A = this chain, B = another copy of it.
Amino acid sequence: MKSLEYIPACNQCAYENNSIFRFLNDDQLSLLSYEKGCNLYKKGNVVYHEGGRVNGFYCVNIGIVKLYKTGYEGREQIIRFAKQGEIIGFRSVLSGDFACHTARILEDSLLCFIPTETLFELIRKNAEFSIELLKLTCRELGEANAFITDIAQKTVRERLAEVLLILYNGFGLDEEKFLQIVLTREELSNIVGTATESVIRLLSELKEDKLIEIHGRRLKLLDLRGLKKVANY
């Protein structure tokens, strides 16, 4: 982690990255820019640990952050990834609780840090902003509940295909149809909730069926419609 002298302005970023902060007015955006901090993080760094105290939350300016919980036998369960414009850790800030997941850098990142008090001030001053924050949380909750249903009812094969589509929705493809997020097989298994070996075998199956191509860790999604069918999605 490295502190920055140059701090990117929020008023620009908010609109470019479609962040929650676009619901703030100019004054509030200035306040935000003034009160926040900004740091560089390298891949593998931990931003905050599950169970630790947090006294503020983060907004991703550049990079990707992996959020995961640790199960009782040490296995990580990936909850979600945060990319440009998304905020992480605000749940613990709001509830005043310990962090309920670990945040680890997946791709070198630039994160802005916003102190707890600033968040509360903004919520109190701007009802529109707080409604949008509520909507955001509700959306995440809806996704979480949908995933519970899937993980409880679908086969590993279906879930894997679905996870690929969820990643597609979040990160998109490049011009060659490569998924714009690169994960190890183990990380994939920690989203799907299965063994690494199963992911390896099932990816091969999807390749056999011409739905994807495998180039090391980079995955090319050839047939989105076909994947949807496999995933019942």
A148-B147 contact given A72-B232, A95-B135, CB 8 Å threshold: yes
Chain B nearest CB, measured from A192 CB (Å): 8
- B79 to A148, Cβ gap below 8 A? yes
- B138 to A77, Cβ gap below 8 A? no
Chain B nearest CB, measured from A69 CB (Å): 5
A73 to B193, CA, bound (A): 21
Which of A72, A131, A149, A151 has the most chain B CB within a 10 Å cutoff?
A: A149
A77-B131 contact given A137-B141, A141-B144, A144-B144, CB 8 Å threshold: no
Chain B nearest CB, measured from A140 CB (Å): 6
A149 partner, pick from B71, B140, B141, B150, beta carbons under 8 A: B71
Query: How many chain copies?
Result: 2
- B69 to A149, Cβ gap below 8 A? yes
A225 to B72, CA, bound (A): 17
Chain B nearest CB, measured from A195 CB (Å): 11
Asked if A53 is at the interface of the complex by the 8 Å CB criterion, the answer is: no
**A interface residues (Cβ-Cβ under 8 A, vs B):** 69, 71-73, 75, 77, 79, 91, 94-95, 97, 100-101, 120, 123-124, 127, 130-131, 133-135, 137-142, 144-154, 192-194, 232
Sample of 15 more A-B contacts, CB < 8 Å, known A77-B152, A123-B127: A77-B148, A77-B149, A79-B145, A91-B141, A91-B142, A94-B138, A95-B135, A97-B142, A123-B131, A124-B127, A127-B130, A130-B131, A137-B138, A148-B151, A151-B193
